[in-house]
Chains A and B, each alone.
Chain A
Amino acid sequence: MQTLIIILGWTGLAALFVRATQQPAGATAPQAVPFLGGGTPDAHAWQRYHFRPYTMTLVFIAFEMEMMFMYPWAVVFVSEGIKALAEMGMFLAILSVGILYGWREGVFRWQ
């Protein structure tokens, strides 16, 4: 309980300190618009763009994480037996959903 009070107290003090050191933005409307060299935008600056390496990231996680788990699994496989086999089956089933999704997105097509 004492520890909790100390942690909360320090957190509160830290929050107050951060608040005190931050200057208020205080931007007027002309200052808040994006800088376009004097030009004006048509749309709000918030927009979605395509993060193109995302499919690569997906496949990397699917295959790399598999190996991360397989090494310790191989060490205990003999002693754990059928239970370890079932666990690995579940794990691979989950990861293969990601691989199937990547397949649908055309990650494995060589261009």
Chain B
Amino acid sequence: MGLSSPDPASVFAAIGPGWQAPVERLLARQGLRRALTPRDAGILLVAGDMPGTAAEALSRVHDQLPHPRVTLRWTIAEETADAVAERIAATWRDLRAGEADESDHLPDQPPNEWKGVGPHGQGGKGMMGGTPYGRTMAMTGEDIRDGLQLDRYTARIGPFAPMLPPGLVLEVTLQGDVIVAASVQSPPFAQPADADAPELCAARMLTLLGLDEPARRSIRGRRPSGFWVRGAVPRDLGRIKDAGNARDRLAAFLAGDSPAVAATDLSELLPGLEWSEAMLVLASFPPSSILRAAPIPEAA
């Protein structure tokens, strides 16, 4: 493919404290595309100064970008979005020409060896026995809907998961796609009030609904036609006292106001929801209310 190919630069954004709104506005531009997974991206955009606690997670995300890949940093508030967009375009041209690449940050070793209880690494508890590369097989537990014994999968998701507010690390236990337990491991990064802008909040929900173009239009300041869009949100999802349900909140975002949502304990709100529903519910809160809801980790 030629350099003049109209394909947009695929960027995975790792957003630091205070950079959510600028990055979301940047990646809604023509010629840029926000990748929802690093495997779909060529450029890793690191915005803001990352706290040391997120360094290892950032390395993990960096290594998951396929080759060729390039990391760009946007840490100076004086650098305009235009300048960064230009930098990304130039880097994308280099990538397409095969003139740039980066090697892994983490060592090329599995987290653990494959080791079971038997002399040949076989056997153990769980579905198949053994612990493939340090990961035990999922063990069964009671399904919260009807008590069937189903496998439980526990993982920490974040701080750079595109569907969660930047910085939020959620430890979730899933059975299939149903969340049976959730706890906040680290709260989202603090963001200025601009991140609560209704057009950005609406765009986050629209992106989750798979409506990429309406999401872009919303960020650029044009209002997508609300009627069809609201219908895409499941009925009466994520009802909060005094703040309606997710559909009402999306309608409010689309109408241009940011509803005040009382801080809600995520570990009580999320269990019982399917993953996609839970992400929609989280996206229907302005980031500041999730930050208020997340417990501040105690100083050691």
Mark A residues whose CB is within 8 Å of B: 28-31, 33-50
Contacts and interface: CB of A to CB of B under 8 A. Distances in A.
B135 A43 contact: yes
Given A47-B127, A47-B152, 17 more contacts: A29-B108, A29-B111, A30-B107, A31-B64, A35-B38, A36-B155, A37-B159, A38-B54, A38-B61, A40-B60, A40-B156, A41-B153, A44-B136, A47-B138, A48-B127, A49-B150, A49-B176
B87 interface: no
Contacts of B131: 44
A54 B56 CA distance: 42
Max chain A Cβ within 10 angstroms of own Cβ: one of B14, B54, B143, B161: B161
B138 A36 contact: no
A43 to B, nearest CB: 4
B60 A38 contact: yes
The 5 closest A-B pairs by CB, nearest first: A37-B161, A38-B57, A49-B176, A30-B63, A39-B156
A37 B138 contact: no
Given A30-B60, A30-B106, A43 B160 contact: no
Contacts of A48: 127, 138, 150-151
B64 A39 contact: no
A38 B159 contact: yes
B157 A46 contact: no
Nearest to B185: A39
Contact of B148 (A40, A47, A50): A50
Interface residues of B, number: 51
A48 B109 CA distance: 27
Nearest to A42: B154
B175 interface: yes
A44 B137 contact: yes
B175 A49 contact: yes
Interface of B: 14, 37-39, 54, 56-61, 63-64, 66, 104-111, 127-128, 131-132, 135-139, 143, 148, 150-162, 164, 169, 175-177
Nearest to B61: A38
B208 to A, nearest CB: 14
5 contacts: A30-B106, A36-B158, A38-B160, A42-B136, A43-B139
A37 B164 contact: yes
A39 B57 contact: yes
B29 to A, nearest CB: 23
A20 to B, nearest CB: 21
Max chain B Cβ within 10 angstroms of own Cβ: one of A33, A34, A45, A49: A49
A11 to B, nearest CB: 32
A16 to B, nearest CB: 26
A39 B38 contact: no
Contacts of B161: 36-39
A39 B59 CA distance: 11
Contacts of A41: 135, 153-156
Given A30-B60, A30-B106, A44-B138, A37 B157 contact: yes
A48 B175 CA distance: 8
A29 B109 contact: yes
A53 to B, nearest CB: 13
Contact of A33 (B60, B136, B148, B176): B60
Contacts of B154: 41-43
Contact of B153 (A29, A31, A45): A45
B136 A50 contact: no
B153 A47 contact: yes
Given A36-B161, A37-B164, A38-B158, A43 B136 contact: yes
B295 to A, nearest CB: 18
B157 A42 contact: no
A48 B143 CA distance: 12
